[in-house]
Structure 1
């Protein structure tokens, strides 16, 4: 009987630990996917982020209160460590770099094919991207702009600033600029590989 009670109590503590830490996963995912979220949901994305913060913080606090009332101090310490670790990752991570670098690695072969078509002059000024790359552009297209092939990853809602990926046939100079939005000019700021640059 005592063993069953202990097992049931450990099971409940385990569920509370999952509840406390599970709220942080959507928040981490939203930070990683900030560009596509802001593109697809626009201002609604801010509400999604706020809801994820509330879920993470409230879930952790509620689980900690219940675990401490049950005197499950080890489980409570585990929940607190995961929450603090997640908060530290949220604060310290360079989400823009993580997203751009991982997407570039993931789609490297597709981007190489696109760049090859641009190099030989086989692309129109505005070309629809293959379905696997379409999510990397706010309008699903690649644009020939200012001597480069440009994929606009994000623009603010007033089109006053933007960021994206650009392919250059030759290495750009420090003075190279690309129109990243109707009211903004960006510079190639970081080389990704294979002639592709991050433009901001």
Structure 2
């Protein structure tokens, strides 16, 4: 899940469309804050082949039991549980999430919006981020290099909702100089490829 420091809309307001497509079911951030093995407090955690197998299995099914996970990666349950706990404590596993079908929420249109800021100082970035931080349409916000400053993944119900979001929210921010919208026709993700 890409967070970018944004607060999450967790489908908490009935009747309002929420595009937060990954809902944290179990957060480990508190554990890492007080744990001396935290990724922030120690050198980078070194993954071995078994760790990568564990991660690969969890990427495809994060709800499997420890017993099933152990069987799939060729460990007995106790060592598997111990490795899983180490991966969580080290911050390699940041949490567990549910993937929700946007269509089930009435969100049928996905677009990528590039945003170019008029002011590139810290105040311009802060003004922009504050304006979109709690917008339910925004599921991702990426600070990038190149011609644009940000890319947003936006989910809306229809073209009218998109027009309203762009004109009334994005283009109303004084720090925004220009926006460009690209319609997503299809999407694929391959998170387990990095574990090979």
- The structure, 1 or 2, with the larger RCO (C-alpha pairs under 8 Å, 6+ apart) is 2
| Higher relative helix content | 1
Structure showing greater Rg: 1
Q: TM-score range by the shorter chain?
A: under 0.3
Q: Normalising by the residue count of structure 2, what TM-score does the alignment of the two structures yield?
A: 0.26
